[in-house]
Structure 1
């Protein structure tokens, strides 16, 4: 099977695609990977070079969630269609929301990793302003033309259906395929991790993104006895950005460095206001960190009882919970074990198996026939 897959190079979607492409290899899947957003970093080039089932095609077209993107979105669409004509894929998998309504020659799987409208709801506690009206219309048309819509959690599925649905009269909501990762290497045991971990707190994410809520960590860092280290880019895509106070900012970390910091950290904090899945949290759990997370629906769905939860808008609660964990090694060890155990529900191989089921249904002539407008599979259960 051959798949034309889009990705951006700016955040978690790239990590998701690397995990998925690697896990699809044993299934005989070849991926034509089309990148957008900005040029690949040296680290990203090394990652994709290790995947011999992937051909990468690079661009720097702006994505639909960026400022004034629509000229670039149109040019990117022409480029993507040219790749489809050249490679004749069996499946188109779009990991952005801007290109579903093109004249694709094959069934389209669109993955809603996040969206601007649900971001505004969660972060700003209000509807997106009129400036995002065109985004709403374009994304709605894009999603309605996809043959299968996938979300990484039920919470994100509901958000997409709320803002852009229904997509199909029989299946009005996207299907759910949980993300998975094999990075970093799973800690040998939570007990070993607990005995070897250092008295430090770690976090990761785009420091400029209000959804990640790194500012909450900055506001309490002076009031906790352990140092707080944060990995992530300070600058926004437009070049603006300022490092938060009271934190040890490490900047962008390559995988080897990230794994080293996760192995050292006792507590991982993600006081997110908006996080449709949270691959960085999964990586921390695989390393055996105790988790302190924002009390939002998606994170409760993924982690259940394996974390402490705090109101993202209540720094005093975050300070209290963190200090209690520092003072209670038994509870830290319990949370470490629960996170490590729960992380094993989210292996990359399981994610790939679920996508293979979806792909095979779409390429089955008995299920999928032309034209797409007649045989839409949006929201098809898998």
Structure 2
């Protein structure tokens, strides 16, 4: 069955937005109409301009709390679900693609795929080394219901999918679809003596605090690009890294192009688009030693214990003192990154949609 229309949920807080636009643009080139349903805070000017540059992309937005936010509850999540259902009935999609969990079990007029970019329960296990407390019970219930009700559950790594199965159980059909980016958007240039990190600096999972602790012992400056303000309020503070703030794609690509080393000592990172962008630009990679990043980058990266500033500093200094090894690591990362192009991602998603569209559709209810 040909797929002509896809309704996709997203948010504008993190990498899900980048993923959604990358996929929507590719789908549009193949004549597939996309309606992007944006939940949570409205996209800022730069994100909105990026979306409006995609021919034919339709965008709808409602500021319902994202399912992981403190103010999320059954009432506002049910209201968000009704809004999404109204959009679906008006748009007439062949496939519903949810980049969040809790609405996977609604009576959609088309097969529904839920994509697990990250979740609070897995975040807690990797970052806090403990399950989330009882204050997250309603969230976990909504997530479990959404996962169990979806036609298909997709994760960007096998590691993430295994974690979901272990924590929530009850998953039906599942698949892994690796994320992708356009290599030509992240060209390499003459490398300069600095290390770069691109991350939501407020997110403990990205572990910028460990970079800040390592920075006084590193030969080269460490630059950090990304938001320091948490979407629920408050700013992350650091003393030793150079904060660049949130950068647009072209300015970010320029940083990747000139950075000799990309460092992300992540405690939790189900995929990591910034690592891929850095690899396309030929940066040597220093990454947190966690299962998902090992799965994706194999022997191309220098792995460090995420919470060991001394090990992080040693890894950066080792590469900085050996230009030959630095160049070899960057070249290896760039070759490996060819596995994760947007064209490969698009081909896999188009196949997934076609398979979904063959499924028996749920009855349409108002």
TM-score, reference length from structure 1 = 0.91
Partner residue, 1:375: none
SS at 1:369's partner residue? coil
Q: Name the CA distance, whole Å, in 2 between partners of 1:329 and 1:60.
A: 49
> Between Structure 1 and Structure 2, how many residues are aligned?
359
1:85 corresponds in structure 2 to 89
Matches within 5 A, 1:294-373: 294-364=288-358, 368-371=359-362
Q: Distance in 2 between matches of 1:370 and 1:178?
A: 26
* 2:192 aligned partner: 198
Task: Give the whole-Å Cα distance in 2 for the aligned partners of 1:247 and 1:184.
Answer: 29
Shift of 1:371: 4.5
Q: Displacement, 1:267? A: 0.5
Q: Does 1:178 align with 2:182?
A: no
Report the Cα distance in structure 2 between the residues aligned to 1:238 and 1:186, rounded to whole angstroms: 31
Give 1:186 deviation, angstroms: 4.4
Deviations 1:133-167 (A, max 9, x none): 11111100111000011000000010111111232
Q: In the alignment, does 2:121 pair up with 1:130?
A: no
Residue 77 of structure 2 corresponds to residue 73 of structure 1: yes
Structure 2 unaligned segments of length 5 or more: list them: none
SS at match of 1:246: coil
Q: Which residue of 1 aligns with 2:149?
A: 145
Give distance in 2, aligned partners of 1:356 and 1:213: 35
Aligned match of 1:211 in 193, 205, 224?
205
User: 2:310 & 2:208 partners in 1: Cα distance?
Assistant: 15
Mapped contact 1:179–1:346 kept (Cα < 8 A): yes
**5+ long unaligned stretches in structure 1:** 373-382
Kept in 2, the 8 Å contact 1:184–1:283? The answer is: no
Moved over 3 A (4+): none
Given the two structures, how large is their TM-score scaled by the length of structure 2? 0.95
1:269 aligns with 2:263: yes
2:34 alignment counterpart: 31
| Kept in 2: contact 1:63–1:72 (CA 8 A) | no
Structure 1 residue 51 corresponds to structure 2 residue 54 = yes
Deviation at 1:183, TM superposition (A): 5.6
Q: What is the SS of the residue equivalent to 1:113?
A: coil
CA distance in 2, matches of 1:175, 1:140: 17
State the distance in 2 between where 1:345 and 1:370 align: 33
